[in-house]
Amino acid sequence: MAESVIGVHEISVSYGKRGKTVKAVDNISFTVEQGECVGFIGLNGAGKSTTIKTLMGFLFATSGEARVFGLPAGTPSSRSRIGYLPEVALYYPFMKARELLELYGGLSGLPKQKLHEKIPAVLEAVGLGEKSEILLKHFSKGMQQRLGIAQSIIAEPDLFIFDELTSGLDPIGRHTLRSLLKDLKATGKTIFFSSHELTEVEALCDRVLIIHKGRIVRDAKIAELSAESGSKGLEQFFIDLVHDTEATHE
Amino acid sequence: MDTMLPRKTTFLLIGKSVWLELIRRQDLYVCLMMLLLFLIGVFVMRIVGIDSPATGTFILNMGMMLASMCAHLLLIFLAARQFPSEMENRTLYPLLARPIRRSDLVLAKWLAVSLGGILVYTLLLTVVWISVPKLETYHAALLFQSYLLHVLSLLWLSSMAIAFSLFFPRGLAVLLCGIFFFGGGSLRQLISRDLPIRRLLSSYIPDFGMLNLTTRYTDGIDALAAHDLLALVGYGVVMIACFVFAARYAFRGKRL
Which pLDDT score, from 0 to 100, does residue B36 have? 94
Residues 6+ apart with CB under 8 A from A165: A85, A177, A193, A194, A195, A197, A200
* CB A14 within 8 Å of CB A24: yes
The CA distance from B247 to B256, in Å, is 15
Which pLDDT score, from 0 to 100, does residue A5 have? 94
The CA distance from A186 to A200, in Å, is 17
Which pLDDT score, from 0 to 100, does residue A26 have? 92
Same domain, A92 and A120: yes
Boundary-marking domain end, from A105, A131, A157: A157
Partners of A159 in the β-ladder: A82, A190
Say if the Cβ atoms of A109 and B1 lie within 8 Å: yes
B235 found inside a domain: yes
B1 found inside a domain: no
Which candidate from B20, B97, B253 shows the least CB-CB separation from A95?
A: B20
Say if the Cβ atoms of A103 and B10 lie within 8 Å: no
B84 found inside a domain: yes
* CB A9 within 8 Å of CB A29: yes
Which residue on chain B is closest to A103 by alpha carbon?
B13
Same domain, A217 and A247: yes
Neighboring chain A residues of B2 at a CB cutoff of 8 Å: 69, 77, 80-81
Same domain, A38 and A92: no
Query: Could you tell me what percent of chain A has a pLDDT over 70?
Result: 98
Which candidate from A76, A87, A94 shows the least CB-CB separation from B99?
A: A76
Same domain, A164 and A53: yes
A53 found inside a domain: yes
Measured between CB atoms, does A145 come within 8 Å of chain B? no
Which candidate from B24, B97, B255 shows the least CB-CB separation from A59?
A: B255
Partners of A218 in the β-ladder: A210
pLDDT higher than threshold 60 for residue A187: yes
Domain that holds residue A128: 87-157
Domain count, chain B: 1
Say if the Cβ atoms of B13 and A106 lie within 8 Å: yes
The CA dihedral of B162, A155, B20, A128, to the nearest 10 degrees, is -130
pLDDT band for position A1 (50/70/90)? low
The CA distance from B60 to B231, in Å, is 27
Q: What is the mean pLDDT of chain A?
A: 90
Side-chain half-sphere exposure of B226, counting CA atoms within 13 A: 0
Which pLDDT score, from 0 to 100, does residue B159 have? 97
C-alpha angle A226/A190/A12, rounded to 5°? 80
Residue at A4: amino acid letter = S
B2 found inside a domain: no
pLDDT higher than threshold 90 for residue B198: no
Which pLDDT score, from 0 to 100, does residue A242 have? 82
Same domain, A164 and A239: yes
Which pLDDT score, from 0 to 100, does residue A250 have? 64
Same domain, A20 and A139: no
Q: Which run of H or of E encompasses A60? A: none
* CB A158 within 8 Å of CB A189: yes
Partners of A39 in the β-ladder: A193, A208
Neighboring chain A residues of B20 at a CB cutoff of 8 Å: 92, 94-95, 99
Q: What is the mean pLDDT of chain B?
A: 91
Same domain, A35 and A144: no
Which pLDDT score, from 0 to 100, does residue B106 have? 96
pLDDT band for position A249 (50/70/90)? low
Say if the Cβ atoms of A90 and B20 lie within 8 Å: no
Query: Could you tell me what percent of chain B has a pLDDT over 70?
Result: 97
Which candidate from A53, A77, A89 shows the least CB-CB separation from B256?
A: A53
Which candidate from B13, B94, B98 shows the least CB-CB separation from A86?
A: B94
Query: Could you tell me what percent of chain A has a pLDDT over 90?
Result: 64
Q: Tell me the average pLDDT across B193-221.
A: 83
Domain count, chain A: 2
Partners of A12 in the β-ladder: A63
Same domain, A22 and A70: yes
pLDDT higher than threshold 50 for residue B213: yes
Say if the Cβ atoms of B95 and A89 lie within 8 Å: no
Which pLDDT score, from 0 to 100, does residue A248 have? 75
Measured between CB atoms, does A129 come within 8 Å of chain B? no
pLDDT band for position B1 (50/70/90)? very low
Which pLDDT score, from 0 to 100, does residue A116 have? 94
Same domain, A37 and A3: yes
Domain that holds residue B115: 7-252
What is the phi/psi pair of residue A28, to 5°?
A: -100, 150
SS (H, E, C) B51-110: CCHHHHHHHHHHHHHHHHHHHHHHHHHHHHHHHHHHHHCCCHHHHHCCCCCHHHHHHHHH
Which pLDDT score, from 0 to 100, does residue B2 have? 47
Q: What is the pLDDT of residues B222-250, one digit of tens each?
A: 999 999 999 999 999 999 999 999 999 99
B229 found inside a domain: yes
Residue B120, min C-alpha distance to chain A (Å) = 19
Of residues B40, B68, B42, B36, the one with CA closest to residue B55: B42
Say if the Cβ atoms of A152 and B94 lie within 8 Å: yes
pLDDT higher than threshold 50 for residue A4: yes
Same domain, A66 and A165: yes
Measured between CB atoms, does B5 come within 8 Å of chain A? yes
Boundary-marking domain end, from A132, A157, A182: A157
Q: What is the pLDDT of residues B126-157, one digit of tens each?
A: 999 999 988 888 899 999 999 999 999 999 99
Residue A12 or A89, more confident: A12
A183 found inside a domain: no
Same domain, A52 and A165: yes
Measured between CB atoms, does B159 come within 8 Å of chain A? no
The CA distance from B2 to A157, in Å, is 10
Q: Tell me the average pLDDT across B180-187.
A: 88
Measured between CB atoms, does B24 come within 8 Å of chain A? yes
The CA dihedral of A112, A115, A116, A119, to the nearest 10 degrees, is -160
Same domain, A230 and A250: yes
Neighboring chain B residues of A69 at a CB cutoff of 8 Å: 2
Of residues B213, B99, B78, the one with CA closest to residue B148: B213
Q: What is the pLDDT of residues A22-67, one digit of tens each?
A: 889 999 999 999 999 999 999 988 999 999 999 999 999 999 999 9
Q: Tell me the average pLDDT across B4-29.
A: 90
B33 found inside a domain: yes
- Torsion sign, CA atoms B112, B113, B115, B120: positive
Q: What is the CATH number of the domain that holds A231?
A: 3.40.50.300
pLDDT higher than threshold 90 for residue B27: no
Say if the Cβ atoms of A106 and B256 lie within 8 Å: no
Q: At what angle do helices B7-24 and B53-88 cross, to 10 degrees?
A: 110
3-state secondary structure of A73: coil
A51 found inside a domain: yes
pLDDT higher than threshold 90 for residue B186: no
Q: What is the pLDDT of residues A85-138, one digit of tens each?
A: 998 778 999 999 999 999 999 999 999 999 999 999 999 999 999 999 999 999
Of residues B66, B72, B32, B70, the one with CA closest to residue B218: B66
Q: What is the pLDDT of residues B35-83, one digit of tens each?
A: 999 999 999 988 888 778 889 899 999 999 999 999 999 999 999 999 9
Which pLDDT score, from 0 to 100, does residue A166 have? 78
A187 found inside a domain: no
Residue ranges of B 66-95 with Cβ closer than 8 A to chain A: 89-91, 93-95
